[in-house]
């Protein structure tokens, strides 16, 4: 975008004259005071004046001797005659550091400290109660076990997907149009005026434009269909409350094969639990079947008990 260059404005700190021109008035025409570049500002729309036939040579530099702004092309200060070697650039409008965030009120800070302190104290107490253990004598009070087998049935299952992902064995297929995604389509521009301080008493003004986009739906074919799949139909369970007789698996009656309505055995689950008593309190632990058999009723053991969380099953001896 083409840039238009205008003069900045500044206010005299000495006589109070306002809206002086940043390029044309290097000194106050009323009192002769030198321009302070820190007092430059962008003019209001009605006060803008074009910087005609101005050749830009860079941002002004601050004279290291008298602190007045000097054109970047000058080798010596026009005010005091001092050399400009090593001079720094003047601050540009908008370069001032962002104001520091206000400190939170002391009362609010104290409240958060109290909340955090209570949380940490509670967490420490929980960890202590959960990790602290004491040894107690235990007696085996009983046993229990359960074994479960899932039964799966080959059956018609309703499902849906995008038609290009439809299973090869789908049947009774129906189609409909649905939104599958969205795409971004250009929909004009949003523009704003950007002002940029050039540092020599002038500023540039240009239009900065960005493409606007709108979201448009993208439609595709969605398929609903039936497919034949194995699905969980039921579970058969067998339980016991003693070491004897030996735990056994249930024996479901199924219709074997690969036809619709045919069944097969699925996942198996088994649990073996030992119940303990100690000082009138009950505890329980789950073990593998082989280890479960090694705890006869009435046998005595020693184990670690947490203040919260119960018996540590790995500690039994």
Q: How does pLDDT run across 30-86, given as a tens digit for each residue?
A: 998 998 888 899 999 999 999 988 888 888 888 888 888 888 888 888 778 888 888
Cα gap 222→90, rounded to integer Å: 65
Phi and psi at residue 108, in whole multiples of 5°?
-65, -40
* Average of per-residue pLDDT across 252-257: 94
**Do residues 35 and 10 lie in contact, with contact meaning Cβ atoms separated by under 8 Å?**
yes
Half-sphere exposure of residue 4: CA atoms within 13 angstroms, side-chain side: 10
- Cα 206 from chain centroid (whole Å): 37
DSSP states along the chain: ---EEEE-EE--TTT---SEETTT-SB-TTT-PBP-GGGEEPPPGGG--B-TT-------EE-TTT--EE-TT-SB-TTT--B-TTPEEPPPTT-SPPPPPPPPPHHHHHHHHHHHHHHHHHHHHHHHHHH-EEEEEEEEEEEEEEEEEEEEEEEEEEEEEEGGG--TT-EEEEEEEEEEEEEEEEEEEEEEEEEEE-SSSEEEEEEEEEEEEEEEEEEEEEEEEEEEEEEEEEEEEEEESSSSSPP---------SSSTT-EEEEEEEEEEEEEEEETTEEEEEEE-HHHHTT--TT-EEEEEEESSS-EEGGG--
**Whole-model pTM?**
0.59
* Average of per-residue pLDDT across 268-292: 95
* Average of per-residue pLDDT across 166-179: 98
* Average of per-residue pLDDT across 154-167: 98
* 180: pLDDT strictly greater than 90: yes
**Token couple for 216:** 């448009």
Task: Say what the pLDDT of residue 98 is.
Answer: 43
Q: Label residue 251 exposed, middle or buried (CB < 10 Å: 0-12, 13-18, 19+).
A: exposed
* 100: pLDDT strictly greater than 60: no
* 137: pLDDT strictly greater than 90: yes
Phi and psi at residue 292, in whole multiples of 5°?
-60, -40
Lowest mean pLDDT among 49-58, 131-140, 152-161, 279-288: 131-140
Cα gap 208→213, rounded to integer Å: 16
Q: Label residue 127 exposed, middle or buried (CB < 10 Å: 0-12, 13-18, 19+).
A: exposed
Task: Say what the pLDDT of residue 96 is.
Answer: 42
Task: Say what the pLDDT of residue 97 is.
Answer: 44
* Average of per-residue pLDDT across 266-286: 94
Task: Say what the pLDDT of residue 130 is.
Answer: 54
Q: What percent of the chain lies above the pLDDT cut of 70? A: 91
Cα gap 70→27, rounded to integer Å: 12
Residue partners of 220: CB distance under 8 A and separation at least 6: 162, 163, 164, 177, 178, 180
Report how far apart the first and last C-alpha atoms of the chain are (Å, whole number): 84
Task: Say what the pLDDT of residue 126 is.
Answer: 54
- Which of 9-18, 155-164, 187-196, 251-260 is modeled with the greatest confidence? 155-164
**Do residues 199 and 73 lie in contact, with contact meaning Cβ atoms separated by under 8 Å?**
no
- Cα 138 from chain centroid (whole Å): 50
* Average of per-residue pLDDT across 116-143: 74
3-state secondary structure 53-120: CCCCCCCCEECCCCCCEECCCCCECCCCCCECCCCEECCCCCCCCCCCCCCCCHHHHHHHHHHHHHHH
- Which of 18-22, 110-114, 223-227 is modeled with the greatest confidence? 223-227
* Average of per-residue pLDDT across 271-289: 94
pLDDT, mean over the chain:
89
Q: What percent of the chain lies above the pLDDT cut of 90? A: 63
* 134: pLDDT strictly greater than 50: yes
């Amino acid at each position: 975008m083409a840039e238009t260059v205008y003069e900045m404005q500044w206010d005299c700190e000495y006589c109070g004259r306002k809206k002086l021109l940043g390029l044309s008035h290097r000194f106050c025409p009323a009192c002769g005071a030198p321009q302070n570049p820190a007092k430059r500002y962008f003019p209001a729309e009605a006060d803008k004046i074009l910087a005609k036939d101005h050749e830009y040579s860079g941002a002004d530099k601050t004279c290291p001797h008298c602190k007045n702004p000097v054109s970047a092309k000058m080798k010596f200060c026009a005010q005091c005659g001092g050399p400009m070697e090593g001079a720094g650039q003047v601050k540009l409008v908008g370069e001032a550091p962002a104001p520091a965030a206000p400190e939170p009120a002391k009362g609010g800070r104290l409240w958060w400290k109290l909340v955090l302190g209570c949380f940490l104290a509670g967490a420490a107490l929980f960890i202590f109660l959960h990790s602290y253990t004491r040894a107690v004598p235990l007696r085996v009070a009983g046993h229990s076990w359960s074994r479960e087998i899932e039964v799966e049935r080959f059956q018609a299952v309703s499902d849906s997907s995008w038609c290009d992902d439809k299973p090869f064995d789908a049947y009774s297929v129906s189609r409909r149009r649905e939104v599958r995604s969205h795409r971004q389509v250009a929909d004009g521009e949003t523009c704003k005026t950007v002002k940029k301080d050039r540092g020599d008493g002038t500023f540039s003004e240009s239009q900065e434009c960005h493409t606007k986009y709108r979201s448009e739906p993208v439609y595709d074919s969605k398929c609903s269909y039936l497919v034949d799949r194995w699905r969980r139909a039921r579970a058969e369970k067998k339980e016991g409350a003693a070491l004897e007789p030996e735990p056994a698996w249930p024996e479901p009656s199924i219709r074997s094969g690969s036809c619709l309505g045919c069944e097969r055995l699925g996942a198996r689950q088994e649990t073996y639990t030992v119940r303990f008593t100690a000082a009138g309190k009950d505890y329980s632990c789950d073990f593998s079947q082989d280890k479960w058999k090694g705890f006869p009723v009435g046998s005595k053991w020693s184990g670690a008990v947490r203040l919260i969380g119960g018996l540590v099953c790995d500690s039994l001896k």
